[in-house]
Amino acid sequence: MHPRIFFRSTALLSCALPASIALAQEVPQTQPDPETEEQGDGLSPSSVGTGAADDNTIVVTARRRQESSQSVPIAVSIVGGEHIDATGSFNVGRLQQLTPTLQFYSSNPRNTAVNIRGIGVPFGLTNDGIELGVGIYVDDVYYSRVASATFDFLDVAQIEVLRGPQGTLYGKNTTSGAINITTRQPTFTPEGSLEASAGSFDFRQVKAALSGPLSDTLAARIALSYTDRDGTLYNIASGDNINQQNNLGLRGQLLWEAGETLDITLALDWSRQNPVCCGTVFVGTGQTQRPLDRQFAALAAAQGYQVPNSDPFDRTTDLDAPLSAVNELGGAALKANWEVGPGTLTSITAWRFWDWLPANDRDFIGLPITTLSQNPSRQDQWTQELRYSGQLDDLDFVLGAFGYYQEIRTQGTQSQGPAASQWLITPANPLSADPSVLDGLTATNDIRLDNVSAALFGQLSWHLTDRLTIQPGIRLNYDRKDGSYVSVVTNGIGERVTFASIDPLIVAQRAVLAPQSFTATFSDWNLSYDFTASYELASDVLAYATYAKSFKSGGVNLNGVPSDADGNPILGAATVAPEVIDHFEVGIKAQALDRRLTANFAAFRTEIGDYQTLVTNGQLGVLRGYLANAEKVRSQGVELDLSFRPTARFNIYLNGAYTDAEYVRFDDAPCPPELSGGTTALPGQTPSALGTPGGFSPENCDISGQRLPGVSRWAFSYGAEYNHPAKLLSISGEVYFGYDGSYRSGFSSNATPSIYTNVDGYSLSNFRVGFRSDDGLNLFAWARNAFDEEYFEQLQVPSGNTGLIVGNPGDPATYGVTAAFRF
């Protein structure tokens, strides 16, 4: 039986299986449990931010059951829905400003990386053939596409950011952490909300939700979110402001309480992004080891080209190829909850789709070198999870099974333009003077993946005494990936470009776009396990220690692989081995002063063998990047979360992380741009110094001991809020002033660290001032990046190794107002 048919059939059959587990979003209508109630603003001691409107009880579902956040022996940060709204953290990119251990980088929705503690997915171009290390879950449904992280949060009640491997509790194995998003659920008491914002750059945002009963046993909830903002870069080639925001999201839920012990929820959602996006700006150039006449300055001068502006924070670019970032996703989920025996049985059946319709300017400048670069993609996924959780005397338990099938189909095109010959062919070759040689050269790609995963998992919490608990967990996982990559290249007159031809014209063309075809399969079983011991040192003081052995599934390369001298794909590079993870962590969670002061501490070390990383071929048009295994990396560090509410009118928080993440051993890595592009040094020849035009380049480089990309050593978030009783037009309430700041130290922005792509550290400051009434009205003005900090989200080195450096500037200062009402 085909895996797709199997999973679809299983999903349909499971619809009849009732199950239940109490989720955090299902709890707010009940009264707080005195044993789990926490003081303050509804943000747990391990949480981030302030927000007086949040619920007083923080209940987390990190271990698939209701627990006080302080009793969970896991490093977890929690952000309440009210604080998300107050700080404008409407997607994961904004969320990283509140959670120092989270890293988010995106050059467009598809090429997005979400990491925790510096690990998760390779930094750079996304490769569909590998798994995420950070799982994204919305109401227990796994989102396999990291592009979902760029969408607006929709009617969110709470977000939990869990650090460290989570495979013995969650549906899909996640080796570096999980983002667990809980939405507000249908209620039998009518309620609703409406929020509207307007600000600089023509920012407009509307959020609305309505919930209530349809009958004694049926309740429904519908929510909408719309965000629109003008672009922060000006493209002189098109006359458009680019890098816009244009997001629309809808979610509907229907809850059926079929009995006292049975409830079933159907959820439907759909979201679409359609901005003019995504572009970069010129940052500078750096010398490589290519011949001087093939570096950026000489190539640009030969065609009379000048960059539009040498100051990247003038935010001007001249991209002449079409730009598009249409991103659409949605799906349906059916969750059945049945309290049976000593626990609850849960069935979660879900289907999700993702459509990606891009267009990019892959030469990054205003010359018609690459005139079309787009790889539209369609993904469908089906998931089925069965889970039983409960309690037997001194044992809490979770037992589960998970099935997953994913289908990805990508058909794309890359075409060269009339400026390509002079830019891409060496000037010594007479063909470089003929624009027709490369004009119209086109690669047509057909990329496919079928991905099957199945798992059994479980975890026990055995309370040996009132203070001591041990928690073993285990997961048995099977993964299979079948991938294919076909790239057919034709020239401007329709001829096939092949490796069989010795025609100088064809030879020059295939040096720019090379045909390739291969299939690859990866399949394997693995066993993960973890063990946690926790001990209550005193009232409100919990210490814990964890060891986890985890695996990240192997994968297949779907961006192409290197070829041998005859043009045959090197199939040894078509698959990448699984990652093997050893994770160690100790922590303390403590509260004092009647729980007005909370201090949580965690220290960790994660060692990864066969780390899946992205390597880049420096040659033009051959490969932009493919996957490989680094022998070993490790991430280690400490994290501190502090929250203090000295009075009911004032609260303050500080969250910090020190993360030391490096390649322990990677002795055959690609070299950085400053050591690439020259003649390969033969045995006995000494490579030239950095940035020596026409010099000798190493065949590969040993980057052992160097930093992993995308992670700062130091990261902090901090803030405070003060409120005071007041009246506005006879409406009773309080005025408030809030501040939220963040700091990240510098980081590497290239898979192999380069002197040209180190991003400087930066700090951001956000302010808000407003009035909150006692009956749900909230009016406030806000400023984000209030001091107009100039910073880069990332720097990039385009293929070809010409020395060009481009970047993605962070948002400038923005200002606006928000009016919100809840009832």
Residue 746's Cβ-count burial label (10 Å; 0-12, 13-18, 19+) is middle
Name, in order, each residue with C-beta under 8 angstroms of 818's C-beta and a sequence gap of 6 or more: 85, 195, 196, 197, 770, 778, 779, 780, 781, 782
Burial of 304 from C-beta contacts in 10 A (0-12 / 13-18 / 19+)? exposed
Using alpha carbons only, give the angle 285, 290, 295 rounded to the nearest 5 degrees: 40
CATH code for position 498: 2.40.170.20
State both tokens at 7.
């999973």
Which residues, other chains included, contact 301 with Cβ-Cβ below 8 Å and sequence gap of 6+?
Answer: none
Report residue 793 as tokens. 């989200």
Neighbours of 724 (CB within 10 A): 10
Rounded distance between C-alpha atoms, residue 721 and residue 416, angstroms: 55
3-state secondary structure (DSSP) of residue 505: helix
Report yes or no: 391 and 397 within 8 Å, Cβ to Cβ.
yes
484-487-488 Cα angle (round to 5): 135
Tokens at 121, concatenated: 């997915």
336 contacts 17 by C-beta, under 8 angstroms: yes
Q: Which residue numbers in the chain have pLDDT < 50?
A: 1-47, 49-57, 618-623
β pairing state of 696-697 and 679-680: parallel
pLDDT for position 8: 43
The pLDDT of residue 617:
54
Residues in the chain: 823
User: What single letter denotes the amino acid at residue 35?
Assistant: E
Helical (H) or strand (E) element with 545: strand 541-552
Distance CA 83, CA 410 (A): 38
- Only one residue has tokens 């046993």, namely 217
Domain that holds residue 237: 3-822
Q: What is the pLDDT of residue 625?
A: 64
DSSP 577: P
Q: Which helix (H) or strand (E) holds 303?
A: none
Per DSSP, the three-state class of 417 is coil
Q: How many whole angstroms separate alpha carbon 701 and alpha carbon 540?
A: 51
pLDDT at 61: 66
| Stated pTM of the model | 0.90
d(CA 506, CA 177): 48
Q: Read off the DSSP letter of residue 569.
A: B
Distance of CA 195 to the CA centre of its chain: 26
**Which token pair is 648?**
């009911």
The residues, any chain, with a CB within 8 Å of residue 633's CB and separated by 6 or more, are 119, 607, 608, 611, 661, 662, 663, 664, 666, 708
How many domains are contained in the chain?
1
Per-residue CA distances from 111 to 70, 107, 124, 174, 691 (Å): 36, 6, 7, 19, 29
Match 């099938």 to its residue by tokens: 405
Query: What Å distances lie between residue 340 and 11, 140, 261, 752, CA to CA?
Result: 21, 20, 8, 54
Q: What is the pLDDT of residues 334-388, one digit of tens each?
A: 999 999 999 999 999 999 999 999 999 999 999 999 999 998 999 999 999 999 9
Name the region of 149 (left: φ>0; alpha: ψ -120 to 50; beta: rest).
alpha
Helix, strand, coil percent content, the chain, rounded in steps of 5: 10, 50, 40
Question: How many angstroms separate the CA atoms of 310 and 512, rounded?
Answer: 28
Residue 73, token pair as written in the block: 């022996």
Cβ-count burial 245-256 (b if 16+ within 10 Å, e if not): bbbbbbbbbbbb
> In sequence order, what are the residues at sequence separation of 6 or more whose Cβ sits closer than 8 angstroms to the Cβ of residue 382?
4, 7, 8, 11, 350, 351, 404, 405
**Distance from C-alpha of 292 to C-alpha of 133, rounded to nearest angstrom:** 41
Strands ordered across the beta sheet of 281-285 = 281-285, 804-809, 792-796
Instruction: Burial-class residue 732 by CB neighbours within 10 Å (0-12, 13-18, 19+).
Output: exposed
Question: What tokens does 782 get?
Answer: 């806000």
The span from the CA of 611 to the CA of 634, in Å, is 9
On the question of a cis peptide bond just before residue 278, with omega within 30 degrees of 0, the verdict is yes
Contact (Cβ atoms closer than 8 angstroms) between residue 486 and residue 498: no
Residue 90 and residue 81 in contact, taking contact as beta carbons nearer than 8 Å:
no
Report CA Rg, the chain.
Answer: 27
